[in-house]
Amino acid sequence: MTKAIIFDWIGVLSAGSKGGVFKDSKEILQRLKSKKYRLGLVSLAGYGNEKRVRDIEDSGLKPYFDSIVVDTTKKIEHYQRCLDELGVNPDEALIVDDRTVRGIKIGNELGCKTCWVMYEKYANETPNKETGEPTYRIKSTRDLLTIL
């Protein structure tokens, strides 16, 4: 049973510097919290941790997360830390990411359920032997509400 959901930031909840938070992100997080899911965020901060942390704080979404891990790299240990902070085992978590080569691959390696958001820039970054298949494929983060 899924007890926790770990999100990526850009491409899943935010358009980044191009447009800020997606219009549905707050409602999606509110609905998931109302269903008692523990929510985590693991974000790759290519331009530095401080800027990404500030972006998350300024978005108004920070209060919905039980764990936030931001780093200039995205590694398996970042997801493990988030799982530990959420207090769940890998098989109780769903990782939601728009990159098969990062979040989906790491989630599969950990034994989590995975959900690939096939949106815009990385929609053609198809899974392969190295990444493994995602548990779910959705066109937008809002579609997550139909599978949970």
Quote the CA–CA distance of 131 and 144 in Å, as a whole number: 21
Quote the CA–CA distance of 35 and 62 in Å, as a whole number: 18
What is the reported pLDDT for 115? 98
DSSP-assigned letter for residue 98: S
Count of CB atoms situated within 10 Å of the CB of 17: 10
DSSP-assigned letter for residue 101: I
What is the reported pLDDT for 86? 99
Tell me the two tokens of residue 2.
Answer: 């899924």
Quote the CA–CA distance of 147 and 8 in Å, as a whole number: 18
What is the reported pLDDT for 48? 76
Residue 60 is part of which domain span?
A: 4-147
Q: CATH number for the domain including 117?
A: 3.40.50.1000
Q: Rg of the chain over CA atoms, in angstroms?
A: 14
Q: For the chain, which residues score pLDDT lower than 70?
A: none
> Do the beta carbons of residue 71 and residue 45 sit within 8 Å?
yes
What is the reported pLDDT for 49? 82
**How many domains is the chain partitioned into structurally?**
1
- 79: alpha, beta or left? (left if phi > 0; alpha if psi -120 to 50): alpha
What is the reported pLDDT for 119? 83
- Beta-carbon contacts of 23 under 8 Å, excluding residues fewer than 6 positions away, are none
- Beta-carbon contacts of 132 under 8 Å, excluding residues fewer than 6 positions away, are 104, 105, 108, 109, 114
